[in-house]
Amino acid sequence: HYAYVSNLAVDTPRVPFVTFSDWTDRLKSTGSIFPTMPANLNNAWSNLYEARFLAGLVAGVFAKKYNMTVIGYISALRNPQVVSGLNAFARGVYIANPNVIIRNRVINNYYDPYTERQCALTFASEGIRLLAHHTDSKEPENVMNNIGGYSIGSNSDALQYQVGERVLTAPIFYWQKVLDNFVQSALDNGGKVGGISTTGGIAAGIVGLVPLTFYVPAEATVLVQQWTERFK
């Protein structure tokens, strides 16, 4: 959507725009030509992989406590954002529990409730009872909840969607701080603000974990607190 909004910003130069997109990062990572950002366009993204690392710590400790040998993971795509998140999650898992295996499947879509559900059911049929994902529906959490398993959510607090407390936690964006800064900048400059590209992670308060549910072992809570401080 960044390219679309960028064109729109050029066509309506008196209106400030804000996008939340990793499009600029993807251009840089591939060595592509980076276009000049319109003067009235702002873009923000985050190091969400930092939060996925913390989620991996939770998953690793949980799997160790309950003698789970495999953790399932559903990936949306094979792109830098998803792969970096998976790698960070895996690193967190293996710091907490080097003896567990992560089994990953890619569904080639960010939002496909049917395929997400079928993928989760496949993991369930293989005996997996702890499932993380980087997709956008709540079907993976629903499947695990229905069979008495557990899950790590993605990009939202599944408790708000009444999935249940078997969702141990979830990486999440906290965009309010970024939006507040953009709006205040616009107010301070007579509505003229743009050309700002913002990024950051835990230290900037842009990403984190939703509150851990009571199923999460105390050891995981301590690890998350320790590593959160290290990121700062």
- Per-residue pLDDT of 116-130, as tens digits, reads 999 999 999 999 999
State residue 156's pLDDT score.
85
State residue 19's pLDDT score.
87
pTM: 0.91
Counting as low any pLDDT under 50, the low residues of the chain are none
Strands (E), the chain: 17-20, 41-44, 70-75, 101-106, 130-134, 150-152, 167-169, 171-173, 197-198, 207-209
Residue 78: name the closest of 32, 8, 26, 132 by CA: 26
* DSSP at 161: G
State residue 139's pLDDT score.
95
State residue 159's pLDDT score.
62
Query: Each residue of 191-215: b (16+ CB within 10 Å) or e?
Result: eebbebebebbbebebbbbbebbeb
State residue 27's pLDDT score.
57
